[in-house]
Amino acid sequence: VRDTLNAHHNCLSFRRLLRARSLVASLISHTQHHTMDDFVETASGNRVSRSAVLCGAARIRLEGRTTVSRDVTLRGDLAKVSLGKYTHIGSGSVLRPCHKVVKDAQLTFFPLVVGSYVLCEEQCQIAAAVIGSYVCIGARAVLGERCIVKDSCVILPDAVLADDTVVPPLTVMGGAPARIVGHLPPSTAMLVQREARRRFDFKQQQ
């Protein structure tokens, strides 16, 4: 009986690995074609499109080898914005620090922290508080105010996360409003890390 249970568990783990690979591949199957002439490259290897809008640049921190594509808007004028290494922000996306009404009806903005090896596709609207590492965010996804996305998650294209949503690790979120539609294996971090490095190196070779 124990051998049967172990075999069943291994089969489920293998299926989950295949599903994770399929999800990551479907989200990143296309590589946006830019030439290096479209970007300004910093000493730490960050690549920022010449058409990107960085509001309050002094409060925007790019950890290294981060790509900010064309027509991206980063709202550092509202609060600090931090992007981890090998993070890719797709064209037309908007990243804005979240806000909350505190005492005396005062509107307060809070820093936006994005981890490393995050692949955010085009036309996303993000007002989250924290996005962990090894996360894939599909095209046109919306992350509402103060959302927290843990490590190794997949947000499907066109998903809409309601305000204050907390996404557990190793989960797949989809729908509007978004809900958990699947689970991922621990190897998801390795898959996303590999793709993030491949995408950065692809641009370097152009």
Long-range contacts of 175-180 (CB under 8 A, 24+ apart): none
Distance CA 156, CA 90 (A): 14
Q: What DSSP string describes 48-64? A: EETT-EEETGGGEEE-S
In order along its 206 residues, the chain shows pLDDT tens digits of: 444 444 444 444 545 555 555 666 665 555 455 566 789 999 999 999 999 999 999 999 999 999 999 999 999 999 999 999 999 999 999 999 999 988 777 899 999 999 999 999 999 999 999 999 999 999 999 999 999 999 999 999 999 999 999 999 999 999 999 999 999 999 899 999 999 999 888 655 55
Count of alpha carbons within 13 angstroms of residue 184, beta-carbon side: 29
Type of residue at 127: A
